[in-house]
Amino acid sequence: MRLCTAAILLAAVALAAPPATAHHAFGAEFDPNLPVQLKGPIVRIEWVNPHSWFHIEHTNADGSKTVWMVEAGTPNTLYRRGITRNTVPIGTVVVIDGYQGKDRAMRANGRRMTFTNGETLFMGSSGTGAPRDGADPTER
């Protein structure tokens, strides 16, 4: 009887647990041979786990505009670097250097965000397999 009760209790706890979210390495989704530089205003920010996303309206060479999703580090990682929800208000014009997704969609992994005053922020996660491109201030 106790074994049955314990099994039911264990099953209830397992079913009540929140689902785990997968975390991926840079190389699983992004191509180090496809660097991109995007310039334009930030139109949306998703401050979510496992990665934050900055949406930027980039003006293409032909004058058309495309909204790109740019992956950044986790909210906690960004916060520890001094980047908060209020650091980059919607509408802020920035330049983002990063790497396009392997699927060639309008999605990139951001490495460096540069503001019009020249200030830069490191957007990426360290140790995820991203290229050593000098953007990560902890690289030696």
pLDDT digits (tens, 9 = 90+) for 36-46: 999 999 999 99
Q: What is the mean pLDDT of residues 57-72?
A: 96
CB of 102 closer than 8 Å to CB of 76 = no
pLDDT of res. 2: 65
Q: Give the model's confidence band at 117: pLDDT under 50 very low, under 70 low, under 90 confident, else very high.
A: very high
pTM for the whole structure: 0.76
Q: What is the mean pLDDT of residues 105-120?
A: 94
pLDDT of res. 38: 97
Lowest mean pLDDT among 19-23, 49-53, 118-122, 136-140: 19-23
Q: What is the mean pLDDT of residues 44-59?
A: 94
Q: Is 47 exposed, middle or buried (0-12, 13-18, 19+ CB in 10 A)?
A: middle
